[in-house]
Structure 1
């Protein structure tokens, strides 16, 4: 069975692995689609992921000297959709399910991890690859604590940024979407952004303050420290910035003695390992994923426009090279496995 492996920085293979043994309480799923996270997985491809250079102490929640992961890295993948081909009592052969089992042609998955993950009969299976990235976007929108009429600036209109734009609009926000790629700004308008801003034209903060005192909240999803600095500049006094991008290395470009300090800006981290602390008694990551998929199934968010590339798994080396070298040309890249079974 094909499985994608990061052999070393800049080198990917679609290697072979034997099928896993079906154990009690599990199901065998044959992968139809596997979605790539152009942010997180690119850190593995480039070798910049902090887990490759620092050791995470999970008990003390600290990064220390050492490393957590080492090459080769096998089976990374952000979201998969597949058909159940051997089932436990909780599921039926032929069910189309979404979940996380990595970029591999087939997997044995505990049945309880797929509870509530069955695609409705008329749903488009490909749309299931958005459950995880959708949950990341929804988590950031929840952390922003958006209220009806709030002025919201969203930095970065990649897949997660576009999803956050739509979810913020559905939450009652008046959204300014910022990016440097015109095609993505056009999609942001389709998703309901009231205004868009091409960051190559100047400062989002200055643009926003020509109309209002400043955004009530900003969600930063570009993963750029310069983007985070501009998000801090954009919010009004006491405003909130949700830092939801996966920032790499040191924070060059941040000037925390300026607007952050003088405008008493709230800086909140949002990461899919957990929900906002003030919501933890009601929400968890599973609920985020299911809620997002319900929004998709109701037709309130069309994810079809976000799929830019559907690629056979054997072309994985070229696909990751494309994402690395021409990231602006790729929104959601999806691997197919049907011919590799």
Structure 2
């Protein structure tokens, strides 16, 4: 089959690789009809390269048609259309029984001290081949795949794999009061959907970014926007919009590669160029992140407010303004998304006749799989108004 493979730092290519096969009784094989590029894929493209191997198949936002099932794949049948959640969970362990699917004890990568296995996401999370390919092996198929209605457009349900549940969790974790304001930092796909979910829940939303196309898209959905390249102090701008108090809740939808931290960015760049034998322990023990967005979230939330972190971080020695956090009594909630915890609620919205969250128009680029390498570069550089790329194998 053809698949998008990692070849080195900022180098990916579409290659012919072996077709996946049933390896465990609860596996299924899905023929991919749509797969998307995620912001987390860009972390692999650059920062987390030391944990990848040449030829690893990337991608974790996938939907398609079931073409083969193992004898213990539950009620999944050949011909079912499914969306595949990005984290692999069993549905019955101690963690899963409590809705903590991202911490599934059946698929936890204990050798790395990490949570549930993820598709297409390095040694740290199980080295499970990803879905930017013609076919995908799906472990724990008795629980994970979400069946979708026949005849529905792929993009009505594709983002159930990651974008929608991650944004839904970001909003839920933010605990925005019914009459409250949430400020969303980063207006990529996760940030855009977090804003729309918050608007659907009738909250006031402020969106922060510096990319004109992202700001304009959020504005079209009724979001008050702040161009952080046009203001001296984003926190002050938010205070000015909230009676000097700050937002009731803030959401970090940016993560480890935030702009505004040049010295930290330089340090990360150096680590990225080290041989893997040196880079891995450096990232694991003394890793640092670019924290401009997270610190701004902390400083922009009101006293007693909540900071929800949806962006991915990987540092072990990140400095945090703990005195300010303690003094102001803020709550912080963060972590990998528990996809299946939110699926039923999201499906109710998606099944409505109107496209209430604009999922069918979120993607700015629809490309064949063979154009994925150029799409990665375009998405990373935010060229050509790129907000979301969907690939068709």
What TM-score do the two structures reach when normalised by structure 2? Answer: 0.70
Note the C-alpha offset of 1:42. Answer: 0.9
Note the C-alpha offset of 1:255. Answer: 6.8
Match in the other structure for 2:159: 130
Q: Which segments of 5 or more consecutive residues in structure 1 lack a partner in the other structure?
A: 54-68, 275-284
Whether contact under 8 Å (1:296, 1:302) holds in the other structure is no
CA distance in 1 between partners of 2:309 and 2:29 (Å) = 37
Query: Measured at CA, do residues 129 and 73 of structure 1 come closer, stay the same or move farther in structure 2, by a change above 3 Å?
Result: farther
Whether contact under 8 Å (1:81, 1:126) holds in the other structure is no
Match in the other structure for 1:215: 247
Note the C-alpha offset of 1:95. Answer: 2.6
Match in the other structure for 1:246: 312
Match in the other structure for 1:118: 147
Note the C-alpha offset of 1:32. Answer: 0.9
Query: Measured at CA, do residues 16 and 97 of structure 1 come closer, stay the same or move farther in structure 2, by a change above 3 Å?
Result: same
Whether contact under 8 Å (2:251, 2:307) holds in the other structure is yes
The number of residue pairs the alignment matches comes to 304
CA distance in 1 between partners of 2:31 and 2:390 (Å) = 15
Whether contact under 8 Å (1:147, 1:172) holds in the other structure is no
Query: Measured at CA, do residues 248 and 199 of structure 1 come closer, stay the same or move farther in structure 2, by a change above 3 Å?
Result: farther
Q: Which has the higher strand share?
A: 1
CA distance in 1 between partners of 2:29 and 2:53 (Å) = 27
Match in the other structure for 1:40: 40
1:173 matched to 2:203? The reply is: yes
Query: Measured at CA, do residues 143 and 327 of structure 1 come closer, stay the same or move farther in structure 2, by a change above 3 Å?
Result: farther
1:258-284 superposed Cα distances (whole Å, 9 cap, x missing partner): 753543333332322x4xxxxxxxxxx
Note the C-alpha offset of 1:34. Answer: 0.8
CA distance in 1 between partners of 2:3 and 2:10 (Å) = 17
Please say which of residues 324-333 and 25-34 is displaced more in the overlay: 324-333
Match in the other structure for 2:297: 231
Note the C-alpha offset of 1:114. Answer: 4.8
1:264 matched to 2:307? The reply is: no
Alignment match of 1:295 (pick from 349, 360, 374): 349
Note the C-alpha offset of 1:185. Answer: 2.1
1:15 matched to 2:45? The reply is: no
The list of structure 1 runs, each at least 4 consecutive aligned residues, that deviate by more than 4 angstroms after superposition, is: 22-26, 248-252
Match in the other structure for 1:199: 228
Match in the other structure for 2:273: none
What TM-score do the two structures reach when normalised by structure 1? Answer: 0.79
RMSD of aligned residue pairs (Cα, Å) = 2.6
SS at match of 1:148: coil
Whether contact under 8 Å (2:22, 2:69) holds in the other structure is no
Match in the other structure for 1:141: 171
Q: Which segments of 5 or more consecutive residues in structure 2 lack a partner in the other structure?
A: 87-129, 259-290
